[in-house]
């Protein structure tokens, strides 16, 4: 099942995608009346998290590329909810940022209250998966300002929908394209810490609620993007998140 959030006639709704048609999502989680086609609706980020927890340096390829030491435990940071934006929305490069980076990632959307989650039961707490771009102002990160480097407005595109039927999230192909050129490509099997390990680690201290998001890290090939660029993050079996870069 592919779950979307959309705006139509000024109202925000949730729906289920069946091919190119969006149906209302009932309280029972079933498809209702037809709302419209994907082409007719403005899709929003598919969830509205209160907490966004991110794992850094979580792909073996990126660790090797950057010459970093193999991590003994997950490295975590947060993005703030104001950073959320949706598919086809503009990623805004703030004034003064010299290097804006894309980081294609698999995002995990929480389905029920997650506290002290056993690693082998992580799937019980997951609603589904979507594509993410962990946008980063690299020069702000370099000067130690991680909060603004990761959490400026539009720095967390999500979408285009939440896929609830992913057989094995550790066997997905992740591809990032910039202007149509492949700049990142890897398997989620290359994660150092899998989703179960990450959720178990995070929820020892941070309780996650339905709709919250866990970003699982980005593979090798992180690079810069500039206003006018189009960046796409594709995950096999899920979909493609597409955004254009603009500036303020």
pLDDT of 27 strictly over 80: no
Q: Are 127 and 164 in contact (CB under 8 A)?
A: yes
Of all residues in the chain, the percent with pLDDT exceeding 70 is 100
pLDDT at 127: 98
pLDDT of 28 strictly over 80: no
Structural domain boundaries in the chain: 1-44, 45-247
- Per-position b or e across 191-213, b if 16+ CB within 10 A of its CB: bbbbbbbbbbbbbeeeebeebbb
**For the segment 163-190, what is each residue's pLDDT rounded down to a tens digit?**
999 999 999 999 999 999 999 999 999 9
Q: Quickly list DSSP for 160-192.
A: EEEE---S-GGG-EEEEEETTEEEEEEEGGGBS
Average pLDDT of span 202-224: 98
Residue 8 pLDDT level (bands cut at 50, 70, 90): confident
Cβ-proximal residues to 233 (8 Å cutoff; 6+ apart), any chain: 102, 104, 105, 131, 132, 133, 157, 174, 175, 176, 240, 241
Higher pLDDT, 138 or 8: 138
The conformation of residue 158, written as its DSSP 8-state character, comes to: E
pLDDT at 31: 84
CATH, range 45-247:
3.90.850.10
Residue 145 pLDDT level (bands cut at 50, 70, 90): confident
Alpha carbons 241 and 231: distance in angstroms, whole number: 8
pLDDT at 46: 98
Of all residues in the chain, the percent with pLDDT exceeding 90 is 88
The CATH label, of 2.30.30.370, 1.25.40.10, 3.30.70.1110, 3.40.50.300, for the domain at 1-44 is: 2.30.30.370
pLDDT of 120 strictly over 80: yes
Average pLDDT of span 201-220: 98
**For the segment 79-103, what is each residue's pLDDT rounded down to a tens digit?**
999 999 999 999 999 999 999 999 9
pLDDT at 53: 98
Task: Compute the mean pLDDT over every residue in the chain, rounded to the nearest whole number.
Answer: 95
The conformation of residue 114, written as its DSSP 8-state character, comes to: B
**For the segment 31-77, what is each residue's pLDDT rounded down to a tens digit?**
889 999 999 999 999 999 999 999 999 999 999 998 888 999 999 99
């Amino acid at each position: 099942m592919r779950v979307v959030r959309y705006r139509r006639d000024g109202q925000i709704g949730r729906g289920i995608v069946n091919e190119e048609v969006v149906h209302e999502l009932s309280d029972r989680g079933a498809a209702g009346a037809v709302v419209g086609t994907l082409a007719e609706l403005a899709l929003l980020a598919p969830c509205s998290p209160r907490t966004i927890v991110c794992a850094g340096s979580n792909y073996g390829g990126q660790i090797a590329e950057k010459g970093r030491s193999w991590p003994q435990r997950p490295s975590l940071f947060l993005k703030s909810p104001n950073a959320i934006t949706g598919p086809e929305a503009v990623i805004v490069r703030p004034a003064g940022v010299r290097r804006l980076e894309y980081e294609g990632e698999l995002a995990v959307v929480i389905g029920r209250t997650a506290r002290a989650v056993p690693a082998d039961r992580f799937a019980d707490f997951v609603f589904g998966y979507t594509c993410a771009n962990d946008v980063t102002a690299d020069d702000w990160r370099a000067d130690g300002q991680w909060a603004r480097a990761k959490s400026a407005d539009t720095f967390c595109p999500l979408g285009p929908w939440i896929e609830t039927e992913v057989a094995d999230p550790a066997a997905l192909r992740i591809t990032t394209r910039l202007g149509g050129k492949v700049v990142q490509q890897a398997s989620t099997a290359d994660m150092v810490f899998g989703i179960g390990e990450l959720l178990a680690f995070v929820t020892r201290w941070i309780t996650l609620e339905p709709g919250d998001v866990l970003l699982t890290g980005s593979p090798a090939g992180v690079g810069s993007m500039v206003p006018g660029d189009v960046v796409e993050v594709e995950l096999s079996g899920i979909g493609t998140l597409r955004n254009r870069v603009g500036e303020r």
